[in-house]
Structure 1
Amino acid sequence: MKAVLSVCALLMLGGCATEGQSNPPWLALTDSSCAKLSGDQELSMNLADDMAKEGKLHASLANLQSLPERYAQVQLRKARIYRQLGRPEAGPLYQGLLSTCLSAEGNHGLGQLAAGAGDNALAVSYLERAAQMAPTDDKIRNDLGVVYLNQLQLDKARFEFLTALELKQSDSLAALNLVTLLIYQDQWSEAAELVTRAQLSPEQVSDAQARAQALKTQARPTSNQVAAIK
Structure 2
Amino acid sequence: MKTVIALAASLMLAGCASSGVVASRTADCAKPGADQELALNMAEDMANEGRLYASLANLERLPEDLVQVRLRKARVLRLMGRNEAEPLYKSLLGTCLAADGEHGLGQLAAARNDNSAATQYLERAAKMAPTEGKIRNDLGVVYLNQRRISEARFEFMTAMELQQSDTLAALNMVTLLIYQDNWKQAAELANMAKLSPQQVADAQARAEKIRGSATQAATSPANHLAEVVDASTGAVK
> TM bucket by the smaller chain?
0.7 to 0.9
Structure 1 position 46 matched with structure 2 position 41: yes
> 1:137 deviation in Å?
0.6
Structure 1 position 119 matched with structure 2 position 114: yes
Structure 2 residue identity aligned to 1:216: R
CA contact (8 A) 1:13 1:143 kept: no
After the TM superposition, which parts of structure 1 deviate over 4 Å for at least 4 consecutive aligned residues?
none
Larger Rg belongs to: 1
Q: Which runs of 5+ in 1 are unaligned?
A: 1-11, 15-29, 222-230
In 1, distance between residues paired with 2:85 and 2:46? 18
Structure 1 position 138 matched with structure 2 position 117: no
In 2, distance between residues paired with 1:46 and 1:216? 41
Query: CA separation of 1:175/1:156 partners in 2, compared to 1, >3 Å: closer, same or farther?
Result: same
In 1, distance between residues paired with 2:133 and 2:213? 27
TM-score, normalised on structure 2? 0.78
Partner residue of 1:216? 211
1:175 to 170, 176, 179: 170
Structure 1 position 75 matched with structure 2 position 73: no
Partner residue of 1:228? none
Query: CA separation of 1:42/1:219 partners in 2, compared to 1, >3 Å: closer, same or farther?
Result: same
Structure 1 position 103 matched with structure 2 position 98: yes
SS in 2 for 1:180: helix
CA contact (8 A) 2:110 2:118 kept: yes
Paired residues for 1:4-23 under 5 Å: none
Question: What's the RMSD between the two structures over aligned residues?
Answer: 1.9
CA contact (8 A) 2:137 2:159 kept: yes
> 1:171 deviation in Å?
1.7
Partner residue of 1:186? 181
SS in 2 for 1:164: helix
> 1:55 deviation in Å?
1.1
TM-score, normalised on structure 1? 0.81
Q: Which runs of 5+ in 2 are unaligned?
A: 1-16, 20-25, 217-237
> 1:214 deviation in Å?
0.4
In 2, distance between residues paired with 1:58 and 1:220? 35
Query: Relative contact order (alpha carbons < 8 A, sep ≥ 6): 1 or 2 greater?
Result: 2
> 1:218 deviation in Å?
3.2
CA contact (8 A) 2:18 2:166 kept: no
> 1:56 deviation in Å?
0.8
Structure 1 position 59 matched with structure 2 position 47: no
| Partner deviation per Cα, 1:47-97 (whole Å, 9 max, x = no partner) | 111111111111111111000110100000000000000000000000000
In 1, distance between residues paired with 2:196 and 2:171? 10
CA contact (8 A) 1:123 1:147 kept: yes
SS in 2 for 1:155: helix
SS in 1 for 2:212: helix
Structure 2 residue identity aligned to 1:197: M
